[in-house]
Amino acid sequence: MTTTPQDKKSPITSKQQLIDYIASGEKPREDWRIGTEHEKFVFCKDSFRPVPYEGERSIRAILEAKGREFGWDPMMEGDYIIGLTKNGQSVTLEPGGQLELSGAPLETLHQTCSEVNSHLTEAKAVSEKLGIRFLGVGFNPNTRLEDVPHMPKGRYKIMTDYMPKKGKLGLDMMYRTATVQVNLDYSDEADMVRKFRTSLALQPIATALFANSPFTEGKPNGFMSYRSHIWTDTDPDRCGMLPFVFDEAMGYEAYVDHVLNVPMYFVYRDGKYIDASGQSFRDFIKGELPAYPGHVATMQDWEDHMSTLFPEVRLKKFLEQRGADGGSWNTICALPALWVGLLYDNDALDAAWDLCKNWTIEEHDILRRGVPKAALQAEFKNRKVLEWAREMLEISAHGLKQRSRMNSTGEDERIFLNILFAILDNGHCRARNLLEMYHNEWNGDINRLFLDHAF
């Protein structure tokens, strides 16, 4: 089953439609694809501060130049250009001006890494002329929340007003974090459940491997992944480790019930966002939404609502792996490689599940809360996370070897894990290395991060 544009305008008349929406993502193994997304901070070369939306040196200028010079089509919201599209890819804006590439669904990691390299080469070509550069870390290292520019997207205004009602760090999540994630397919409901459980359990270990956000407003913040910590105090309704995923009853319907229980943010109609924050999607289905009375939810509204949940792993018509901090150019392709190796080979998936299948819900929580501060050096079940990560990475490497997808020089996809094996051999995550440089060769000057590690 596929959902056509006309289907998306159809009113929702039963919960089965919502279940079928997720089931429509099922694909045979030969059609499984890899969709990589990454965000990076955009800053002025001279001030090391975020780039505003408008002006000669701005986010808008980057988007217009990239579209003009490299053949991307603009995405508009009113008079504002808010993104670009080309060949199944999109470039979009996060609330604080973080620039995101959402890649096309591709068959191999070689292709997805080529896509990343092409995008970054283009973005660098247009930004250098504007005196702008990019930084790949998990949290804005030098700018106060009140000094981050806001992007002109209607949904972000609604979220900005609502976030402080649910947690202390929601605005930090919106305006000062950046991530890398990968979207992966499933063949049927049982395959989805197996992949969801395994990746959700192991997600904190991926967080530890990619931990890269140790600075806040120019100084160490006490965390290896402050970005990951932020999610623990953003919005308990829509974030977290989702204990129900490990219940016997887990399946498409269980996830639909969860999404229905999460309060709404907005309704999008005729190019405008209607504030429905805190209201019930169940009421919307019945035509009783206070913010939009007399109107019934459509499948497009359901798709929009699903996109406003932010768990560590998110289900749509695919599974999104969401635990990693943003990283440097040479680490972006490692994140999809890790999860493709673990989830796209049956033997690897079995071995990965064997690692975590006996963990209790309490142990999942202990691991999730221990990793942001200590990353690979955190203790879990009498072992360092470093040791768990090595097992996880070896399983992923085996899965990628089994896939046997070669590049033009005869190398398989394991080459994209080399940076992660180097991290394990070093014994410390990227954040720990940055802190050592900050305290030693940088002499406490956070500007060195921008000078030495931008791309």
- Number of other CB atoms surrounding residue 73 within 10 Å: 11
- Number of other CB atoms surrounding residue 401 within 10 Å: 14
d(CA 439, CA 194): 43
Classify 380 as helix, strand or coil: strand
Name residue 240's amino acid: G
Check if the beta carbon of residue 23 is closer than 8 Å to that of residue 189.
yes
Cβ-based burial of 124 (10 A; exposed 0-12, middle 13-18, buried ≥19): middle
d(CA 274, CA 331): 39
pLDDT tens for each residue of the chain, 455 residues long: 344 444 889 999 999 999 999 999 999 999 999 999 999 999 999 999 999 999 999 999 999 999 999 999 999 999 999 999 999 999 999 999 999 999 999 999 999 999 999 999 999 999 999 999 999 999 999 999 999 999 999 999 999 999 999 999 999 999 999 999 999 999 999 999 999 999 999 999 999 999 999 999 999 999 999 999 999 999 999 999 999 999 999 999 999 999 999 999 999 999 999 999 999 999 999 999 999 999 999 999 999 999 999 999 999 999 999 999 999 988 999 999 999 999 999 999 999 999 999 999 999 999 999 999 999 999 999 999 999 999 999 999 999 999 999 999 999 999 999 999 999 999 999 999 999 999 999 999 999 999 999 99
Check if the beta carbon of residue 266 is closer than 8 Å to that of residue 158.
yes
d(CA 72, CA 91): 9
State the pLDDT at residue 329: 87
- Number of other CB atoms surrounding residue 23 within 10 Å: 17
What is the Cα Rg of the chain in Å? 21
Q: Which residues contact 445 (CB under 8 A, 6 or more apart)?
A: none
Which runs of consecutive H residues, i.e. helices, occur in 262-360? 281-285, 299-306, 334-343, 346-356
d(CA 446, CA 455): 16
d(CA 273, CA 30): 39
Domain ranges, ordered by start, for the chain: 32-262+309-453
Classify 137 as helix, strand or coil: coil
Dump the DSSP string for 349-375. HHHHHHHHTT--HHHHHHHHHHHHHHG
Class of domain 32-262+309-453: alpha beta
